Structure 1
């Protein structure tokens, strides 16, 4: 995969939004998957120029690209690339990117993700979440915090909130997970 990542990195614009002086945040997201450490930047600030070269990429290269841009500082870009990733026959190594984006504050991403995943077999995602139970539970609590801060006024009942449905039905969250920590 290293060659594919290198190719994608060379194709991505090095221009950043609002002339931010860094392309990637120093904050890093870490998960484990089958004894492998997966690390990626919390945010990237590169402008999305992928429409120029997307069609020339292999399926794996497209998955890599979509994962990278799922970390964009622009929520519209994150949503666009996550949607593209979810519509593919995505591989297990992409699951950390899918799960991470769902503990963030853009409710439209949660809605889109739920609508796609509710029709899929999500056992691979549930397995991943169990392997990363501490990070996953923190993500669940983070999602609740964003609901409380930004969406409680239009979704009074957390029981009906789309983020809760996504985490429970598609990712396998249960209270017993938190009790096991």
Structure 2
């Protein structure tokens, strides 16, 4: 499921986390993860992970037994949950850590989605931080980053244009430009 979603040196930790994740899917779903795969390059290494996972979040049962690196892996994996509340919870916990660069693809990916509360939370946390490593990652994945930017605009246009009628004030635009380095 996520073996290609992290650097090779984390393989044992990833395997441990995957074994801990519940195999019980949400709402009797017949799949555990989507067939759609997100693929990025980071430091010349291909990173791949499922667009969505459909497993119930059972992490409260074992998170205290994990080391910091394992917690980061867990938060990255659950940032792909089909449940927006679970995605937000784990992204917030990840952003509050001194996260490693290998977590950046998960942070960037979740921000091109439609849940504005996640975009707002991410911007509030990142706006005062040094995001040069995120900007470097976005530049390295330029074509995918532009696609993400366009998705963010599409969601603004479809769902949030009435609330934020001035795109320059929209939090998604601020996040992508101020924190991720998007420029025209």
Q: TM-score, normalised by structure 2?
A: 0.95
Identify which of 144, 158, 162 aligns with 1:153.
162
CA RMSD of aligned residues (A): 0.4
1:22-171 mapped onto 2 (5 Å cutoff): 22-171=31-180
Name the counterpart of 1:179: none
CA apart distance, 1:150? 0.5
2:89 & 2:99 partners in 1: Cα distance?
15
1:40 & 1:19 partners in 2: Cα distance?
22
1:11 & 1:130 partners in 2: Cα distance?
34
CA apart distance, 1:153? 1.1
Per-residue displacement from partner, 1:55-86 (whole Å, max 9, x unpaired)?
Answer: 10011100000000000000000000000000
Provide the secondary structure at the position in 1 that maps to 2:156.
helix
1:59 & 1:98 partners in 2: Cα distance?
17
Name the counterpart of 1:178: none
2:98 & 2:28 partners in 1: Cα distance?
35
CA apart distance, 1:119? 1.3
Q: After the TM superposition, which parts of structure 1 deviate over 6 Å for at least 4 consecutive aligned residues?
A: none
1:52 & 1:72 partners in 2: Cα distance?
17
**Paired residues, number:** 175
2:18 & 2:43 partners in 1: Cα distance?
25
Structure 1 residue ranges without an equivalent (≥5):
176-181
